[in-house]
Amino acid sequence: MAITAIGPLVPPPVSSHMYDMEFTTSTMPLFALCIIGTAFLLVLAVELAVPVRGKILPPARRRLTNVSLFFIDTAAVRLIIPLAMVGAAVLAAERGWGLFHSIEAPVWLAFAVTLLALDLALYVQHWATHRIPLLWRLHRVHHSDRDFDVTTAARFHPIEILASMAYKCAVVIALGAPALAVFVFEVGFAVATLFTHANFTLPPKLDHALRTVMVTPDMHRIHHSARVEETNSNYGTALTLWDRLFGTYRARAHDPQDQMTIGLEEWQDERPARLGFALMQPFGRD
């Protein structure tokens, strides 16, 4: 994950900079929603047709809990951090903040560096949520899901989502990132999050080939294993580069993909399917 969620795309304020004007229209959030919604439906259709794992928790209740968390997260971000990532990029452009507003750099270079830097930033953030106890208390809401499917991509505690959005906005401002690059990253990251949480498996040769560049469902499913050494691996959501570079890449799980225990050992019961439990989980006793 990095902290992996489908971040709300909120229209930024009108900018006087021509480069960012195309992102200020009301059609951009709708465009993003269409892409993400289509990706969700495609992943859902495939995993319903050829699931790699059977269900453990009551499907209807669990999915309702995960989707409800998504809507709560979206409402929280809209109320508390209304600019979101693209808005932060527009604000940085208006104020001249950040690296790429302080140095001369070709647009293509700023675009490419932004995509890589944001992906690295979210890898680091995800790693931190597993290493810092306070962050783990929030992030374990995501990991306590005993099933693994496209709705798991939406299962995050609202406080974690708020902290994640604030962090990402700070990175965007520090970079002085182009709004187009931020928009492409945010939409691409959301689609990647849906894909990596899919309850299907790719043909072995295709999975192996894709892993040279991008995270696959089988790779990320290892990260959701109840085995601690597997949970603390494969932090990437989009690119495999950072896991390979920093030694956190794990190619195979101890158990077969369709037999591994998903979730956390301390909550191998029906509690993770409850919305109230998910919301209160960070504040309970370990």
Mean pLDDT of 29-36: 86
Q: Report the pLDDT value the prediction gives residue 26, as an integer from 0 to 100.
A: 54
Hey, which bits of 3-144 come out as E strands?
A: none
% residues pLDDT > 70 (the chain): 90
Over residues 66-113, the pLDDT tens digits come to 999 999 999 998 888 777 898 899 899 999 999 999 999 999 999 999
Rg (CA), the chain: 19
Residue 158: pLDDT band (50, 70, 90) is: very high
Query: Is-contact 217 224, C-beta < 8 A?
Result: no
Listed by start position, the domains of the chain span 18-283
DSSP character at residue 261: P
Residue 13: pLDDT band (50, 70, 90) is: very low
Contacts 24+ apart (CB under 8 A), 46-51: 46/198, 46/200, 47/149, 47/150, 47/198, 47/199, 47/200, 50/200, 51/149, 51/199, 51/200
Query: Is-contact 120 161, C-beta < 8 A?
Result: no
Over residues 107-137, the pLDDT tens digits come to 999 999 999 999 999 999 999 999 999 999 9
**Whether pLDDT at 1 is above 80:** no
Over residues 213-270, the pLDDT tens digits come to 999 999 999 999 999 999 999 999 999 999 999 999 999 999 999 999 999 999 999 9
Residue 16: pLDDT band (50, 70, 90) is: very low
DSSP character at residue 262: B
Q: Report the pLDDT value the prediction gives residue 224, as an integer from 0 to 100.
A: 98
Q: Report the pLDDT value the prediction gives residue 27, as an integer from 0 to 100.
A: 66
